[in-house]
Amino acid sequence: MNLGRRNRVKAEGGMSSMTDLVFLMLIFFIIMSTMSEPGIPVELPSGTTGGPPDKPVLNVGITSDNRYLLTDDVDKFYSYEEIEPIIISKMNSDLSDNDIIKISGDKDADYQYVFRLIALAKDNEWKPILVFE
């Protein structure tokens, strides 16, 4: 004669409550995203006080075919080996407070050509300013 229990309690967790919770969260986020305002006014800081100082600035540009040019001489293009001594001599010229170099690159220029100028500026303790147009 078998006197053991025939109705055993299963120790498995049900997934129906988890799917209900996920469904309710989905509905909540959909409703909240439609109720949010698309144009929330944000007070951004003005750029009138944070511009570069009134020191002389050396402007160097990088063209789309990865050649360098100085804004003083727009008709002549240089390689990095040619322009490096020119930049160093201009930055160390009679303007002793000239420590800012403005670097502007074309959107199609390779990053390594821009980074070379940044590394040159950091090695000589100049302050590079990057211009994005």
Contacts 24+ apart (CB under 8 A), 79-82: 80/113, 80/116
Give the bridge partners for 68, in sequence order.
62, 78
Q: What is the rounded distance in angstroms from the CA atom of residue 25 to the CA atom of residue 91?
A: 61
Handedness of CA 63, 66, 69, 74 (dihedral sign): negative
Q: What is the CA 38 to chain-centroid distance, rounded?
A: 25
Tokens of 2: 């078998």
Question: Which pLDDT tens digit goes with each residue over 33-79?
Answer: 887 766 666 666 665 555 555 667 888 888 888 899 887 777 788 88
Query: Which pLDDT does position 59 carry in this prediction?
Result: 86
